[in-house]
Amino acid sequence: MPVNLAAPDPASLLPVAGVRLGIASAGIKRPGRRDITLIELAPGSRVAGVFTQNRFCAAPVTVCKQHLVHGDIRALLINTGNANAGTGEEGIARARRSCEAVAALFGVKAEQVLPFSTGVILEPLPVDKILPALPAAQADLASAHWSEAAHAIMTTDIVAKGASRQAQVGGRTVTVTGIAKGSGMIHPDMATMLGYVATDAAIAPALMQQMVKAVADVSFNCVTVDGDTSTNDSFILIATGQAGNAEIVDAGGADYAMLKTALAEVAIELAQAMARDGEGATKFMTIAVEGGRDRAECKQIAYAIARSPLVKTAFFASDPNLGRILAAIGYAGVELDVNALKVWLGDVLVAENGGRAASYTEAQGAAVMKEAEITVRVALNRGDARATVWTCDFSYDYVKINAEYRT
């Protein structure tokens, strides 16, 4: 079961002026499954995204990148049950065909539609099922359907993921709402599986890509479940400009900072939810590395710990086999003075001076390992940089879920 995670109350997901969402069933993988989501954007909305760095990126990722160059995006189409990845030129053609169908419904150009897919790789996108479901999704469009959309984009997720914030920007109340899906095949090279965060704030087009990357770097780029980077990772930022604030044009100004904080809070909540809902997860772990020369080396060490199967299985067993953490630090690829660093499990100092802390006892470690949420803190004592990564343990159910994924 997810670790201290419940689906958000639908009433807590605030509508964003200029965004409407509609859900429908195409029966892509299972009859009756609500697996199609349409998102309609008001004219003048600004959209930016970051995508997977996987060389085998899915057809919709390729098409999204191409369409974002044109700008003036008016609609998003998301399907679950099929990733449209590893499908060659035919996959590109089918993604474009779905964009053309949405464009015809909304009276816009195909280049103004972004397609997204998630599910089984190496299978052709069933456009013959998707296209007939589009009118129903259009008829379902409503500004309050964030919760329904969060459920519709799920695959192996147990809990739907959504969050909202409001902030004062330029003397106006702006709203930020986001949804995401992902619980396995998560290890970022940019962002998450699928994530969508919208705001009614007005922000200059030139700052949108900078903002989406900055938000991804402190949220979705700080979570791992299993070390696998998906073919379909996409994180999209939408700004409709309908809050009435003066357009943000200065990345160094207070308004930019306020908006970034609100966006990051939503994205961090969504990213942490993925680790809490990791496939088969029973523990949620925070890996905090401090005292590094730069953030990159701190993150490198944090990820070495977070993606280690031996570390993750030890946490599942509540076994304080802490040598596995030291081993991961040692093979992270960072030149270190191991005698200078310290390691804590929760509030318990477990290692210093190149070995076991003199004050540490096995009973202390065992007590911490029984907790559902655990922090591992590493102090490198060679600088002022720091980085935090969130992850989960590996349980028997992780193997079962992925072994039976297509059945």
CB atoms within 10 A of CB 294: 12
* Mean pLDDT (whole number) for 169-176: 97
Coil, strand or helix at 74: coil
Which entry of 80, 118, 155, 192 is annotated as an active-site residue?
192
- Two tokens, residue 39: 């998102």
Residue-wise pLDDT tens digits, 38-73: 999 999 999 999 998 777 789 999 999 999 998 899
| Domain 10-276 CATH superfamily | L-amino peptidase D-ALA esterase/amidase (3.60.70.12)
Closest CA to 60 of 93, 29, 103, 30: 93
Beta bridge partners of 203: 248
C-alpha to C-alpha distance for 60 and 116, rounded to whole angstroms: 5
| Tokens 């903002």 belong to residue | 211
* pTM attached to this predicted model: 0.91
Residue-wise pLDDT tens digits, 332-388: 999 999 999 999 999 999 999 999 999 999 999 999 999 999 999 999 999 999 999
Indicate whether 279 pLDDT > 70: yes
Proportion of the chain in helix, strand, coil states, percent, rounded to 5:
35, 25, 40
Q: Residue 36, Cα to own-chain centre: how many angstroms?
A: 19
C-alpha to C-alpha distance for 374 and 392, rounded to whole angstroms: 10
C-alpha to C-alpha distance for 308 and 279, rounded to whole angstroms: 16
Tell me the domain boundaries of the chain. 10-276, 284-403
In CATH terms, are 10-276 and 284-403 the same topology?
Answer: no
Catalytic annotation on 388? no
Q: Does domain 284-403 have CATH number 1.10.275.10?
A: no
The pLDDT score that the predictor gives to residue 229 is 59
Closest CA to 115 of 198, 55, 49, 34: 49
C-alpha to C-alpha distance for 219 and 215, rounded to whole angstroms: 6
Indicate whether 191 pLDDT > 50: no
Give the CA count within 13 Å in the CB-facing half-sphere of 94.
Answer: 24
Q: Strand 342-345 vs strand 284-292: parallel, antiparallel, or unpaired?
A: unpaired
